[in-house]
Structure 1
Amino acid sequence: METWKKGKQLNNGQYIIESMSLRGGRGIAYKAMDTTRGKVVSVKTTPKVWQNPEIEKKIVQQGINIARCNHPSLVKVYPEVFQENDLVYMVMEYIEGDDLASFIDRHGKLSEKDALKLIAQIASAVNLLHQKRVLHQRLKPQNIILDRLSRDPIIVDYGLAIKLFAFENDKQKNAMTDSFSPPELGEEKAKIGAYTDIYSLAAILYVLLTGQLPTPSQFRQYKDLIPPQQLSPNLGDRTNQAILAGMSLDPQQRPKYIRDWLNLLPLEQLKENNPPSEQNLNSPSTANISLSPEQDFIIDDEQVIPLQGDNSPSPLNPLTANTPKIESFEFDSVVIQAKKKLFGLVGGIDKQIISKQNKFFVEYLGEGINLEMIFIPAGTFLMGSSNNDPEKEKDETPQYRVNIFPFYMSKYPITQAQWTIVSNFPKVNRHLKPNPSSFKGDNLPVERVSWHDAREFCLRLKGHTQRNYRLPTEAEWEYACRGGSHSLFSFGDMINPQVANYDSRVNTKKGEDKYDRKTTPVDSFSPNGFGLYDCHGNVWEWCEDHYTPSYINKAKDGSAFYSKLMNSPRVVRGGSWSLTGNYCRSAKRSSYAADSTYNFIGFRVACVLDG
C-alpha cells in the first residue's frame, strides 16, 4: 500500500493529509486536517481484504460501535468509516503528547504511586472495551499517549478490538517477539480472553516501574522473567506479585478479569491525599502525571471504585458512585410498508432507514456483562386502539390519553447472561434459578421466569446498584414500545420476518417464512424510535400491572393498575415467537397468572433516576 503525501485529499476534500504518524498501532495512521470540524484528526487506513458484503457491513458497524465507547482514556473515534480505492479508513481524534515509551526513555521509571495511577486509568478504559465484548490484544506503551495538557494517559490505538484491522496478513508477525504480547497471541487457533489484555497491562506496569522491557514471552522458556522488585528494590510485595501473576505464561494462572487483577494491586495507596511537594512538581518523572478529579475512578466489573480518600462529591464534579454516566448514542430505526404495483397489487416491502439519537447509561453487572438503559422522554400519547382500528380488541379500549414521566428502560429484554449474574446477587424475598430458560444462549432473552421472579430480579438489581429498578407499568411499556409512532407497530402498519421474531407462517409466501419456533438473540432486529430492541415478538414481557379487561379504570398518569384481588393475573405485552403478528401490535394486551413460567415470557426493567 503506497503512502500518502502531504496535501492529499480524502472524502471529497474533507480530510487533507499533513504527515504520516510514527505512533505504533495497526494499519497506517496519518495526521490530517478535518476541514468540516476545523481541527486536526488522525486518519487510520488498511487495505480492504474481504469480499463478502455481509462481512463488510458487520466490520464497519463494529467500528462504529467501538466509536461509541466513551472513556477519558480511550481516544475518541468519530463515527465515520469510509472506503476509497480499495482502502478503508477510520477517523480519530489526534492527541498531542508523548507516548509512554518515549516518556520513560527520556525521564526514567516512575514511582509506584504514579505508576499505579496511570495503570488504573488505562485498565479502566480496557475494562470498558471488555464490557462491550471486545478485546484489544495489542496494548503497549507506544499506543498510549500522555496528553500534552492534562497529562492523562489515552489509548490511541484500538488494536484488534476493531475487526477493521484484524484481517491483515501480518496479524501475528510480531506477536511472539513483542514484550507486551502474551504467548497465546502467537498460537494458531488460540483461545483468548480478558486475561490476554491483562498480560499486556501487567507488562506495561512492569516497564513503568522498572524502566526496562520484560523478556518476550517466546524467550521465557530460555530466560526467566526478572521480577520487577529485583530491578526496583523499593517496590512493594503486592505490586510485584500482581505483575508476575498478570504475566503468567499460562492463561489459566492469570486473573480472569480486570477486576480480579486490580484487586491484587495496592490501590488503597491512591486514597492518600497528601499535598504534592515542590520537589515532586518539578521532578520529570512525576510532573503532572496524576488523574484529574473528575476522572479519578475505575469502572469495575461490579462497582465504581473511587480512588480518592474523600468520597464526598466535588462542587465542580457531582459524580458519585450512585450517579451513572449519561451518554448519547446514534442508531438507525426502520419503517416498512408494502410496495404497491399496478392495480394495487403488493410487490414486496419498502424499507426506510431513519437516523436517530438518544441518551443511555450502562450498568456494569460484573464478569464482562452490562445492562444498557435507554432514556424514555416525558410525553403524552393515546393508549390503546381507536374504534376504527380493524385489529383492535375489546380490552384495548376505550382509547385514552396518558401522561408519561421520564424514565429509563433496558435496551433489550433481560438476557440470560444478565439474569445469571443478577441471580447470584443477595436474595431479597425468593430464590432464583440461575439458568431457567428452555432455549439456551447468553444473548437470548431469559424465559420461564414468573412475574414474582422478575420482581425479585428488580429488587436484587436495586440493592446492588442503589437505583430505583422495577418492572415498567403497562402504560410506560406501550409508550416506550411505540417509540413515538402512531401505527400498529413501531415500524409501521405491517409486520414482516425481517423486523421481528413471531410465527410468520400465516400470510407469508412459501420460501419466505423465517419462523424458527424459538427465541432469537435480542439484537437480531432494528431498534424502534427510542432505541429499544425486540418490543415486538420474541418473548412476552411482564408489566407491573394487574390485568383489567378495559381501560375505564386506568390512571392517566401512567401509573400501574392494582386490583383488590391480589391473585389477579398480571399483564404481559409485545407478543412472542410462538404467536402470529397480530399479537405483536403495540396496543395488544394479554395476561398470565403471576406464578406462570413459560418459554415465551420474559421481561425488561425500568429505572427512574433520582433528581
Structure 2
Amino acid sequence: MTSLEPGYPLKQGRYTIQGELGIGGFGTTYKATRQLRDGQEEIVAIKIGKEGLSDNERTNREKHLKDESKRLKQFNHNHIVKFIEYFYDQTINRPCLVMEYIEGETLQTLLETRNGIPEEEAIKYIKQVAHALAAMHEVNLIHRDVNPRNIMVRHGTEEAILIDFGIAREFVPNRTIQLTRQWAEYYAPPEQQLRRFRVGPPLDIYALSATFYFLLTGRQPVSSRDRENELKRYRKDPQKQDVDNFATNKKLRRAILKGMELEEKRRPKTISEWLKLLESRATTGITIRRDRLRQVIGVIGGLLLLAAVAIPFIRNQSNPSNPSNPSNPSNPSNPSNSPSQTTPSSTE
C-alpha cells in the first residue's frame, strides 16, 4: 500500500496529512491537521481504508469503516477516543474515519520505557478502561480487542483512553452469534477463537484482566490456547502459577484469576461485578488505615488530656508560695505552724 506523503490534502484541503501513525488490518492511521471554521487548526488522527482491493473488498472495506464510525459516534466518554467525522475522499477513492489525536503513548510502550509502573497507577488505568467498557456494554457493544497496545495514556496525565474499535461488535445478551475469528493472541478468551459463541461482557473482562496482569508484572499473559493444552496434559494452569508467583497482592491476584477464568460462565458477568473485586481491596485498605488513624489520634488525645491535667498539678505542688503546698509556712498542715506545747516540770 502506498503511504500518503506529508502535506497531502484530503476533503478539498480541509485536512492535511502530517505523517503516518500506524498500519492496521483495515487500513493506515495518519496524523493530520484539520482546518476549523474560525481559521484555527487542530491535530487529528485519520484512519484511511486500504487501497488496491477488488470491488467486493472495497465494498466491505467501506462498510467496515462506516460501522466503526457509527459505533464510535455514540460515545462521549472521557476514556474512549472521540469521533469527529466520517467521509469518503474522492481523490484517493478511500473511506476516512477522523478521530481525536491523543498525544501520548500506549500502555505497552509506557511499561517498556519506564520498566514497570506502580501498583496504584496500574489500578487507576484499569478502572478507567473498565468504566469505558461498562459504557459500551450498556449499549450492547463489546470491544473484542482490549490489550495494552489499544490503551493510550495522555502525556502529562494519568488518563487512559481506549482506542481502536475496528473489531467491536454488537451483541444480544445470552444469545449465540457468529463473528469473524479475530483476536489478540495473549488477551483473548477461548470462546473468541470460535466462529459461533455466546458474546457478552465476560469476553472483554477476560482481556481487561489479562491486561491488568501485564501492567502489574510486566509479563505477557499465557494464551488461553496454551493454558487449555497445559491443563489437559499436566492438570495445571500456567497462568494461575504465574499470577501466584508474580502478583504479590492477594486481592488483585483474585481479581485477575476470576476475570481470566477459561470458562465464560465462571467469570464475573458484568464490569461492575469485576470492579467490586478491586473496590473491596481499596475499601478494606482505607477502612484499616482510618481505624488505625483513629486509634493513634485517640492515644495522642488521651496523652494530651493527661498532660493538661498533670502539668498544672505538678507545677502547683512544686511552688513554695502555693498555700496548699505543705512546705509553705502559711499552710496549717505544716508542722511548724502547730501551737508549741510545754511539758510541766515536776517538783518533788
TM-score range, shorter chain: 0.5 to 0.7
Residue pair 1:135, 1:194 contacting (<8 A) in 2 also? yes
Q: Report what 1:70 is aligned to.
A: 76
Question: 2: distance between equivalents of 1:70 and 1:248?
Answer: 31
Question: What CA deviation, in whole Å up to 9, does each residue of 1:361-414 have, x standing for no partner?
Answer: xxxxxxxxxxxxxxxxxxxxxxxxxxxxxxxxxxxxxxxxxxxxxxxxxxxxxx
Q: Secondary structure at the match of 2:261?
A: coil
The one-letter code sitting in structure 2 at the alignment partner of 1:229 is D
**TM-superposed deviation, 1:212:** 0.5
| Residue 212 in structure 1 maps to residue 215 in structure 2 | no
Q: 1:131 & 1:62 partners in 2: Cα distance?
A: 17
Secondary structure of 1:255's aligned partner: coil
Partner of 2:195: 188
Q: Tell me if the contact between 2:65 and 2:95 (Cα under 8 Å) persists in the aligned partners.
A: no
What is the TM-score with the length of structure 1 in the denominator? 0.39
For 2:43 and 2:284, how far apart are their aligned partners in 1? 37
Look up the match of 1:42: 45
CA contact (8 A) 1:24 1:143 kept: no
Change (3 A) 1:218 1:41: same
**Is 2:121 the counterpart of 1:106?**
no
Q: Does 1:179 align with 2:179?
A: no
- CA shift at 1:112, angstroms? 3.0
Map Cα deviations across residues 297-349 of structure 1 (whole Å, 9 max, x no partner): xxxxxxxxxxxxxxxxxxxxxxxxxxxxxxxxxxxxxxxxxxxxxxxxxxxxx
Alpha-carbon distance between aligned partners in 2 of 1:86 and 1:79, rounded to the nearest angstrom:
17
Q: Is the 8 A contact 1:78 1:91 kept in 2?
A: yes
Query: SS where residue 220 of structure 2 aligns?
Result: coil
CA contact (8 A) 1:137 1:159 kept: no
How far did residue 157 of structure 1 move?
1.8
3-state SS of 2:102 partner: coil
Return the alpha-carbon distance in structure 2 between the equivalents of residues 261 and 18 of structure 1.
Answer: 41
Q: 1:271 to 1:78 in 2, by over 3 A?
A: farther
Check whether the contact 1:227–1:244 (CA below 8 A) recurs between aligned residues. Answer: no
With 36-45 and 198-207 compared, the bigger mean Cα shift is at 36-45
Question: Could you tell me which of 208, 230, 243 is aligned with 2:245?
Answer: 230
In the TM superposition, what whole-angstrom CA distance separates every residue of 1:117-144 from its partner, at most 9, and x where no partner exists? 1111110011111112211101111111
Asked whether the equivalents of residues 115 and 205 of structure 1 are also in contact (C-alpha less than 8 Å), the reply is yes
Matches for 1:404-553 after TM superposition, within 5 Å: none
Secondary structure in structure 1 of the residue aligned to 2:117: coil
Distance 2:152 2:68 in 1: 24
Aligned AA (1:238)? K
Partner of 1:260: 273
CA distance in 2, matches of 1:21, 1:267: 40
Structure 1 residue 8, shift from structure 2 partner: 1.8
* Aligned counterpart, 2:94: 87
Which position in structure 1 is the counterpart of 2:297? none
Q: Indicate if the aligned counterparts of 1:29 and 1:44 stay in contact, CA closer than 8 A.
A: yes
2:157 aligned partner, one-letter code = S
Is 1:148 the equivalent of 2:155?
A: yes
Query: Once the 2 structures are TM-superposed, how far is the Cα of residue 32 of structure 1 from its aligned partner?
Result: 0.9
Amino acid at match of 2:155: R
The aligned amino acid for 1:260 is E
Distance in 2 of aligned mates of 1:205 and 1:179: 12
Partner Cα distance (1:199, 1:130) in 2: 14
Question: Partner residue of 2:317?
Answer: none
In 2, distance between residues paired with 1:239 and 1:218? 23
- Give the superposition deviation at 1:207: 0.6
Q: C-alpha displacement at 1:106, in angstroms?
A: 2.0
The 3 A distance-change label for structure 1 pair 183 and 46 is farther
Structure 1 253/268 Cα, relative in aligned 2: closer, same or farther at 3 Å?
Answer: closer
Deviation at 1:65, TM superposition (A): 5.1
Q: Structure 2 unaligned segments of length 5 or more: list them.
A: 51-55, 171-179, 231-237, 287-348
Q: What is the DSSP-based 3-state SS (H/G/I as helix, E as strand, rest coil) of the residue aligned with 1:190?
A: strand
For residues 25-36 of structure 1, the aligned pairs below 5 Å read 27-36=27-36
Matched residue, 2:12: 12
Contact kept? 1:109, 1:207, Cα under 8 Å: no
Q: Using the TM superposition, name which of 17-26 and 220-229 deviates more.
A: 17-26
Separation (CA, whole Å) in 1 of partners of 2:84 and 2:130: 22
Residue type of the alignment partner of 1:102: T
Greater helix proportion = 2
Counterpart contact for 2:86–2:95, Cα < 8 Å: no
SS of residue paired to 2:76: coil
CA distance in 1, matches of 2:283, 2:100: 29
Report the alpha carbon displacement of residue 268 of structure 1 after superposing the two structures with TM.
Answer: 5.1
> Are the counterparts in 2 of residues 63 and 162 from structure 1 also a CA contact under 8 Å?
no
Q: Report the TM-score, using the length of structure 2 for normalisation.
A: 0.67
SS in 2 for 1:3: coil
Q: CA distance change for structure 1 residues 93 and 28 in 2, over 3 Å: closer, same or farther?
A: same
Q: CA deviation at 1:59?
A: 7.1
Give the superposed CA RMSD: 2.9
Residues 1:26 and 1:209: Cα distance change in structure 2 (over 3 Å):
farther
Q: CA deviation at 1:162?
A: 6.7
Distance 1:120 1:111, change over 3 A: same
Per-residue deviation at 1:243? 0.7
TM-superposed deviation, 1:89: 1.6
Matched to 1:76, the amino acid is K
Q: How far, CA to CA, are the matches of 2:280 and 2:26 in structure 1?
A: 32
State the SS of the aligned residue for 2:6. Answer: coil
Q: CA deviation at 1:61?
A: 6.6
* Cα offsets for 1:460-494 (capped at 9, x unmatched): xxxxxxxxxxxxxxxxxxxxxxxxxxxxxxxxxxx
Distance 1:73 1:195 in 2: 20
Q: Distance in 2 between matches of 1:62 and 1:103?
A: 27
Q: Cα distance, 1:156 vs. partner?
A: 2.5
Q: Residues 327-342 of structure 1 correspond to what in structure 2 (within 5 A)?
A: none
State the percentage of identical aligned residues: 29
Answer whether contact 1:97 1:148 (CA < 8 A) is retained: yes
Asked whether the equivalents of residues 68 and 166 of structure 2 are also in contact (C-alpha less than 8 Å), the reply is: no
Structure 1 residues 242 and 219: CA distance shift in structure 2, 3 A? same
The match for 1:244 is 257
The CA distance in 2 between the partners of 1:132 and 1:123, in whole Å, is 15
Distance 1:128 1:12 in 2: 35
